[in-house]
Protein backbone atom coordinates (compact mmCIF):
# COMPACT_ATOMS: atom_id res chain seq x y z
CA UNK A 1 0.00 0.00 0.00
CA UNK A 2 1.36 3.38 -1.01
CA UNK A 3 0.97 5.97 1.81
CA UNK A 4 1.75 8.91 -0.45
CA UNK A 5 -1.80 8.90 -1.81
CA UNK A 6 -3.54 8.68 1.57
CA UNK A 7 -4.86 11.90 3.13
CA UNK A 8 -2.94 12.97 6.20
CA UNK A 9 -4.80 13.65 9.40
CA UNK A 10 -3.07 15.36 12.27
CA UNK A 11 -4.93 15.29 15.55
CA UNK A 12 -5.09 18.73 17.16
CA UNK A 13 -6.18 18.69 20.84
CA UNK A 14 -6.97 22.42 20.78
CA UNK A 15 -9.42 21.95 17.92
CA UNK A 16 -11.10 19.20 19.93
CA UNK A 17 -11.34 21.46 23.00
CA UNK A 18 -12.87 24.22 20.87
CA UNK A 19 -15.48 21.76 19.56
CA UNK A 20 -16.34 20.63 23.09
CA UNK A 21 -16.64 24.26 24.20
CA UNK A 22 -19.07 24.98 21.34
CA UNK A 23 -21.18 21.97 22.31
CA UNK A 24 -21.28 23.03 25.97
CA UNK A 25 -22.21 26.59 25.01
CA UNK A 26 -25.14 25.23 22.97
CA UNK A 27 -26.38 23.20 25.95
CA UNK A 28 -26.10 26.15 28.37
CA UNK A 29 -27.76 28.49 25.86
CA UNK A 30 -30.76 26.16 25.73
CA UNK A 31 -30.93 25.85 29.53
CA UNK A 32 -30.36 29.53 30.36
CA UNK A 33 -31.29 31.77 27.46
CA UNK A 34 -29.55 35.14 27.48
CA UNK A 35 -30.90 38.27 25.83
CA UNK A 36 -29.55 39.05 22.38
CA UNK A 37 -27.76 42.33 21.70
CA UNK A 38 -30.14 45.22 22.29
CA UNK A 39 -32.65 43.13 24.26
CA UNK A 40 -33.28 43.53 27.97
CA UNK A 41 -34.24 40.58 30.15
CA UNK A 42 -37.59 41.35 31.76
CA UNK A 43 -37.69 38.69 34.46
CA UNK A 44 -34.81 36.59 35.65
CA UNK A 45 -33.97 34.52 38.69
CA UNK A 46 -30.88 35.36 40.71
CA UNK A 47 -29.39 34.68 44.13
CA UNK A 48 -28.61 37.48 46.57
CA UNK A 49 -25.05 37.52 47.91
CA UNK A 50 -24.76 36.76 51.60
CA UNK A 51 -22.39 37.02 54.54
CA UNK A 52 -22.86 34.50 57.37
CA UNK A 53 -21.10 35.00 60.67
CA UNK A 54 -21.43 34.53 64.42
CA UNK A 55 -21.67 37.43 66.87
CA UNK A 56 -22.79 37.59 70.50
CA UNK A 57 -23.91 33.95 70.47
CA UNK A 58 -26.12 34.60 67.43
CA UNK A 59 -25.90 33.42 63.87
CA UNK A 60 -26.13 36.47 61.60
CA UNK A 61 -26.98 36.37 57.89
CA UNK A 62 -26.72 39.54 55.83
CA UNK A 63 -28.12 39.38 52.31
CA UNK A 64 -27.52 42.05 49.70
CA UNK A 65 -30.78 42.78 47.86
CA UNK A 66 -30.41 46.16 46.12
CA UNK A 67 -33.59 47.73 44.80
CA UNK A 68 -35.91 45.51 46.84
CA UNK A 69 -38.59 46.81 49.18
CA UNK A 70 -39.22 45.34 52.61
CA UNK A 71 -42.71 44.14 51.65
CA UNK A 72 -41.31 42.23 48.63
CA UNK A 73 -38.94 40.08 50.74
CA UNK A 74 -39.93 36.87 52.56
CA UNK A 75 -37.82 34.93 55.09
CA UNK A 76 -38.58 31.41 56.33
CA UNK A 77 -36.64 28.96 58.44
CA UNK A 78 -37.36 25.40 57.38
CA UNK A 79 -35.54 22.05 57.58
CA UNK A 80 -32.47 23.58 59.29
CA UNK A 81 -32.08 26.18 56.52
CA UNK A 82 -33.01 29.83 55.96
CA UNK A 83 -35.01 30.53 52.79
CA UNK A 84 -34.90 34.09 51.46
CA UNK A 85 -37.12 34.87 48.50
CA UNK A 86 -38.88 37.76 46.90
CA UNK A 87 -38.86 40.06 43.93
CA UNK A 88 -37.09 43.22 42.81
CA UNK A 89 -39.51 45.16 40.65
CA UNK A 90 -38.47 47.53 37.91
CA UNK A 91 -40.07 50.90 38.63
CA UNK A 92 -41.38 51.60 35.15
CA UNK A 93 -40.18 50.91 31.68
CA UNK A 94 -39.30 53.92 29.59
CA UNK A 95 -39.86 53.34 25.90
CA UNK A 96 -37.68 56.24 24.71
CA UNK A 97 -34.42 54.79 26.09
CA UNK A 98 -31.98 52.81 24.00
CA UNK A 99 -29.94 50.61 26.28
CA UNK A 100 -26.37 49.73 25.43
CA UNK A 101 -25.93 47.65 28.56
CA UNK A 102 -28.24 46.60 31.39
CA UNK A 103 -26.60 44.75 34.28
CA UNK A 104 -28.93 45.55 37.16
CA UNK A 105 -30.97 42.66 38.54
CA UNK A 106 -34.74 42.65 38.32
CA UNK A 107 -37.09 39.80 38.89
CA UNK A 108 -37.58 36.92 41.26
CA UNK A 109 -34.86 35.78 43.65
CA UNK A 110 -34.48 32.86 46.03
CA UNK A 111 -31.62 31.68 48.23
CA UNK A 112 -31.56 28.65 50.53
CA UNK A 113 -28.86 28.83 53.21
CA UNK A 114 -28.14 25.71 55.27
CA UNK A 115 -27.61 26.56 58.93
CA UNK A 116 -24.12 25.60 60.15
CA UNK A 117 -25.13 25.41 63.83
CA UNK A 118 -28.18 24.57 65.93
CA UNK A 119 -30.37 27.66 66.44
CA UNK A 120 -33.52 28.78 68.24
CA UNK A 121 -35.72 29.36 65.21
CA UNK A 122 -38.62 30.78 67.23
CA UNK A 123 -36.41 33.72 68.35
CA UNK A 124 -35.25 34.75 64.87
CA UNK A 125 -35.46 38.44 63.90
CA UNK A 126 -35.07 40.09 60.50
CA UNK A 127 -34.56 43.73 59.53
CA UNK A 128 -34.22 45.37 56.12
CA UNK A 129 -32.35 48.63 55.62
CA UNK A 130 -30.57 50.22 52.63
CA UNK A 131 -30.83 47.06 50.51
CA UNK A 132 -29.39 44.78 53.21
CA UNK A 133 -31.52 42.07 54.81
CA UNK A 134 -30.13 41.17 58.24
CA UNK A 135 -31.33 38.00 59.95
CA UNK A 136 -30.27 37.24 63.54
CA UNK A 137 -30.95 33.84 65.05
CA UNK A 138 -29.79 32.96 68.59
CA UNK A 139 -27.65 29.86 68.75
CA UNK A 140 -28.94 26.92 70.73
CA UNK A 141 -26.91 26.63 73.91
CA UNK A 142 -27.79 23.02 74.62
CA UNK A 143 -24.76 20.84 75.01
CA UNK A 144 -25.43 17.52 73.37
CA UNK A 145 -22.83 15.59 75.27
CA UNK A 146 -23.44 12.22 76.81
CA UNK A 147 -21.09 10.06 78.76
CA UNK A 148 -20.58 6.59 77.36
CA UNK A 149 -19.45 4.02 79.85
CA UNK A 150 -16.58 1.90 78.68
CA UNK A 151 -17.07 -1.77 79.41
Q: What is the mean pLDDT of residues 86-104?
A: 75
Confidence class for position 15, pLDDT limits 50, 70, 90: confident
124-145 per-position pLDDT tens digit: 999 999 999 999 999 987 666 6
Candidate CATH numbers 2.40.50.140, 2.60.40.790, 1.10.3720.10, 3.60.15.10; the one for domain 44-92+100-138: 2.60.40.790
DSSP for the chain reads --GGGSPP----HHHHHHHHHHHHHHHHHHHS--PPTT---SSEEE--EEEEEEETTEEEEEEE-TT--GGGEEEEEETTEEEEEEEE--S---TT---S------EEEEEEEE-SS-B-GGG-EEEEETTEEEEEEEBP-----------
Confidence class for position 38, pLDDT limits 50, 70, 90: very low
44-92 per-position pLDDT tens digit: 567 889 999 999 999 999 999 998 899 999 999 988 899 999 998 876 6
Amino acid sequence: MDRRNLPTFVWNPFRELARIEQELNKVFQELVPTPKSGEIAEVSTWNPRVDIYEKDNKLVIEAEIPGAKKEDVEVKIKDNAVVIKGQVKKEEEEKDKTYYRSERFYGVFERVIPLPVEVKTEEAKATFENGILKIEIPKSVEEKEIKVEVQ
